Amino acid sequence: TGYLGDHKFAPLSGSSQRVRDSLRHHGAQKVLAYFDETSTTDPRWNISHETMREDFDYLLEKVLAEPWLGLVVKPKNPQSFHSRLGPVARLLKKAEETGRCYVYQEADTIQGQYPPAAAALAADVAVHSRLYAATAGVDAALAGIPTLMLDRENFPVSPFYSLGVGQVVFLDLESMWQACLENWE
């Protein structure tokens, strides 16, 4: 039957372009979209808040260090996003103040009403943060945005591995970042 969500790509393009234009207005020349797939206090059941904070610490430090970088964040659970960030929320605030960081936030929703494609269409490259549940990354790729899959949990049985470690699948943010830099150069 095909992908049931592809009807949303065209209607999202206008609002996504406005986000992208705003980031570019503030100096972003390259834009990453990052999909936060939520976290939990108990790492036995999902990614821990600490692991999620490490990811965002890394990305937000890049935004603050690189005046040409923009970041669009699409949290799966926007309502708890800031509390899950804990002390890293201070970095998020600084990054947002640059005008080169945008977070899709919706009030009073457990799961965001914006699909991942909204963030992806505002970016040059999308990064899906959890390979074992790759729907946001697939949404971005089907929207036509180059998409990288981060596999910090070591899920090598994923069919995405056939697309290449170091090309589509990355085991850590540093190697993914280096590949982005090489590609952009």
Distance CA 80, CA 139 (A): 22
In total, the chain counts a number of residues equal to: 185
Instruction: Please say if the pLDDT value at position 107 is more than 70.
Output: no
At residue 111, the pLDDT reads 60
Q: Among 138, 133, 129, 136, which Cα is nearest to 163's?
A: 138
Residues 119-133 pLDDT 10s: 999 999 999 988 877
Residues 56-73 pLDDT 10s: 999 999 999 999 999 999
Distance CA 166, CA 81 (A): 29
Contact yes or no for 82/89 (Cβ under 8 A): yes
Instruction: Please say if the pLDDT value at position 50 is more than 90.
Output: no
